[in-house]
């Protein structure tokens, strides 16, 4: 198994309530010239999980950090006007929490972050602030939401 330093949460950047799945993402990523879906897990609107790449294989989801990370994507992330929004359904939130817990059990030293947390700290104040986000993905503060998970076993 690869060594895993980061578990990175993404959104599919699709409008809330619109149903897409891992197969759609696989096709989008193939169109970009990638070797199929870049994420390892996809969480659907109804809370069910689909697998993308096997976790033993490097993903394609966070530039410069793919080698030692796992990519998890929930369907959604945009409001009906296409603006960034935490559109996770209660079922998606519950599934994401369970998945984060089980991944943390397996990869105890891995840090859970949102894609946007890999933006550059441009003013070097130690905090990656919203104006510095290269993108908004996953449209909520994943770092904060899952930071204390390791204490909940
Ligand atoms: Zn992303």
Q: What is the CATH number of the domain that holds 48?
A: 3.40.80.10
For the question of residue 98 being annotated catalytic, the response is no
102 Cα–ligand 1 center, Å: 21
For the question of residue 11 being annotated catalytic, the response is no
Q: What would the pLDDT profile of 41-76 be if each residue is shown by its tens digit?
A: 999 999 999 999 999 999 999 989 999 999 999 999
In a domain, 1, yes or no: no
Domain count, the chain: 1
* Distance of alpha carbon 118 from the chain centroid: 12
How would you label 46-63 residue by residue, b for 16+ Cβ within 10 Å and e otherwise?
ebeebebbebeebbbbbe
CA distance 62 to 69: 8
58 φ, ψ (degrees, to nearest 5): -65, 140
**Residue-number span of the structural domain to which 75 is assigned:** 6-146
Structure tokens at 152: 């909940």
For the question of residue 39 being annotated catalytic, the response is yes
30 φ, ψ (degrees, to nearest 5): -65, -35
In a domain, 95, yes or no: yes
Q: What would the pLDDT profile of 86-113 be if each residue is shown by its tens digit?
A: 999 999 999 999 999 999 999 999 999 9
For the question of residue 5 being annotated catalytic, the response is no
For the question of residue 93 being annotated catalytic, the response is no
Residues in the chain: 153
In a domain, 11, yes or no: yes
Q: Which helix (H) or strand (E) holds 136?
A: none
Exactly one of 115, 136, 139, 146 is catalytic; name it. 115
């Amino acid at each position: 198994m690869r060594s895993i330093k980061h578990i990175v949460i993404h959104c599919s950047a699709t409008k809330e309530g619109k149903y897409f799945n891992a197969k759609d993402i696989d096709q989008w990523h193939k169109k970009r010239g990638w070797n199929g879906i870049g994420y390892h897990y996809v969480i659907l609107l109804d809370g069910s999980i689909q697998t993308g790449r096997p976790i033993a294989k490097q993903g394609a989801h966070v530039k410069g950090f793919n080698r030692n990370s796992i990519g998890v994507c929930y369907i959604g992330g945009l409001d009906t006007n296409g603006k960034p929004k935490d559109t996770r359904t209660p079922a998606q939130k519950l599934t994401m929490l369970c998945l984060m817990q089980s991944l943390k059990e397996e990869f105890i030293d891995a840090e859970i972050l949102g894609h946007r947390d890999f933006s550059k700290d441009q003013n070097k104040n130690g905090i990656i602030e919203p104006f510095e986000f290269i993108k908004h993905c996953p449209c909520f503060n994943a770092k904060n939401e899952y930071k204390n998970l390791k204490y909940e076993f």
